């Protein structure tokens, strides 16, 4: 007696046009539905109906296709001044079941619930990490990870740069000398990620290097003003102003 067998997905009959295969093992009387490339739209109820001249029987089962979440775009580097808020944001799409997010700094997981520095904000299609009142020690490399039962995916890595005012370790000292001598005033600042610019003043007027009278020397942390061939008119107040070169 000839039997007719049909497969359905969510009450729609499946054919080879749906990119599926129907396999039959006559020896074991086994009938199989093969979906070579499972997609999220394959989720639902699959029903197999077998019929002959006597009647029809059917059996149904559910398919739950898990989907890996995706990031749209890339994280971008963030630069803020000290005590400002810094924020990393990236768009997300897909994911079944709904994905969760983790954030990492320098490859170590951030735990916002035990730190008041960080705040994680999750909206429908974006996830954000907020660094409140950023300090120099908060600078580093950040990335996000989305994960669910289907697996996990990471964003690219982005840098947080925190700019801060230079710290003077040594101020210029008073200098007493004689006419014809050389005077040297030294300023030392804390070594920083960003170059530090020093402007020298004599009696509130900017001093410019001229290779004859004044020399301005810079070497990473140290800044030096040299005055050659001192004369009586060189007496006065010497001061320096330092700033970050950003």
Fold of 70-163: Immunoglobulin-like (2.60.40)
Q: Are 185 and 161 in contact (CB under 8 A)?
A: no
Q: What do you get for the CA distance between the two ends of the chain, in Å?
A: 86
Structure tokens at 108: 């170590």
Based on its alpha-carbon atoms, the radius of gyration of the chain, rounded to whole angstroms, reads 36
Contacts of residues 29-34 at CB distance under 8 Å and 24 or more positions apart, as own/partner, are 31/5, 33/7
Rounded to two decimals, what is the model's pTM? 0.65
Is residue 192 very low, low, confident or very high in pLDDT (cuts 50, 70, 90)?
A: low
Cα 60 to Cα 111, 172, 174, 199: the distances in Å are 44, 87, 93, 81
In 3D, which of 159, 171, 180 has the Cα closest to residue 225?
171
Q: Mean of the per-residue pLDDT values for the chain?
A: 90
Provide the 10 A C-beta neighbour count for residue 105.
18
Q: Are 45 and 62 in contact (CB under 8 A)?
A: yes
Q: What local confidence, expressed as pLDDT, does residue 246 receive?
A: 55
> What would you measure as the largest C-alpha separation in the chain, in angstroms?
124
Angle at 140 between CA 138 and CA 146, to 5 degrees: 100
In tens, the pLDDT along 50-66 reads 999 899 999 999 999 88
CATH H-level, domain 4-63: superfamily: Immunoglobulins (2.60.40.10)
Q: What local confidence, expressed as pLDDT, does residue 115 receive?
A: 82
Percentage of the chain beyond pLDDT 70 is 97
Length of the chain: 246
Calpha distance 51→56 (Å, rounded): 4
In tens, the pLDDT along 154-189 reads 999 999 999 888 888 899 999 888 899 999 999 998
Q: What local confidence, expressed as pLDDT, does residue 245 receive?
A: 58
In which residue are the tokens 């559910």 written? Answer: 62
Domain 168-244 has CATH 3.90.180.10: no
Q: What local confidence, expressed as pLDDT, does residue 94 receive?
A: 86
Q: Structural domain boundaries of the chain?
A: 4-63, 70-163, 168-244
Q: What is the average per-residue pLDDT within 148-157?
A: 94
């Amino acid at each position: 007696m000839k039997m007719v067998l049909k497969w359905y997905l969510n009450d729609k009959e499946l054919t080879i046009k749906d990119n599926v295969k129907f396999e039959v093992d006559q020896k074991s009387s086994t009938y199989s539905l093969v979906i070579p490339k499972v997609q999220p739209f394959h989720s639902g109820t699959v029903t197999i109906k077998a019929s002959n001249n006597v009647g029809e029987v059917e059996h149904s089962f559910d398919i739950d296709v898990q989907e890996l979440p995706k990031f749209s775009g890339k994280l971008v580097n963030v630069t803020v001044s000290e005590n400002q808020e810094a924020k990393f944001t990236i768009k997300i799409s897909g994911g079944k079941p709904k994905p969760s997010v983790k954030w990492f700094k320098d490859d170590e997981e951030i735990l916002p619930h035990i730190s008041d520095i960080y705040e994680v904000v999750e909206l429908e299609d974006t996830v954000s990490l907020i660094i409140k009142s950023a300090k120099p020690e908060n600078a580093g490399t950040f990335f996000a990870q989305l994960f669910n039962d289907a697996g996990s995916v990471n964003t690219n890595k982005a840098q947080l740069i925190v700019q801060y005012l230079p710290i003077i370790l040594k101020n210029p000292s008073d200098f007493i000398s004689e006419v014809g001598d050389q005077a040297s005033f030294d300023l030392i600042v804390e070594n920083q990620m960003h170059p530090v610019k020093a402007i020298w003043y004599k009696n509130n007027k900017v001093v410019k290097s001229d290779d004859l009278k004044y020399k301005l020397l810079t070497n990473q942390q140290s800044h030096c003003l040299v005055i050659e061939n001192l004369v009586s008119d060189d007496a006065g107040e010497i001061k320096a102003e330092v700033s970050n070169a950003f």
